[in-house]
Amino acid sequence: MDWLLTREVVVTIAFIGALLSTGASILQVRKILSARGAQLMNYAGYGAMGVSMLLFIAAGFRSPV
């Protein structure tokens, strides 16, 4: 479980979320993805970024002072 709170994992999850949100906009503009599909992909991206923020906070609480 400690590996989940490492910097690399937290940053990777945030990066994946950013890619999903950016990709949703690009794919919708290019008419590859419907509005509903882009919305779902955007929600997934924001969800991943939210998980990353929660893990960042949890890692801060676990670190020694």
Phi and psi (nearest 5°) for 34?
-70, 170
Q: Which of 49, 58, 55, 50 is nearest to 16 (CA)?
A: 49
The total number of structural domains that make up the chain: 1
Q: Give the pLDDT of residue 65.
A: 74
Model pLDDT for residues 8-61, shown as the tens digit of each residue? 999 999 999 999 999 999 999 999 999 999 999 999 999 999 999 999 999 999
What is the domain extent for residue 27? 2-7+14-62
- Could you tell me the sign of the dihedral formed by the alpha carbons of 41, 44, 46, 49, in that order? negative
d(CA 42, CA 47): 8
Burial of 3 (0-12, 13-18, 19+ CB in 10 A): exposed
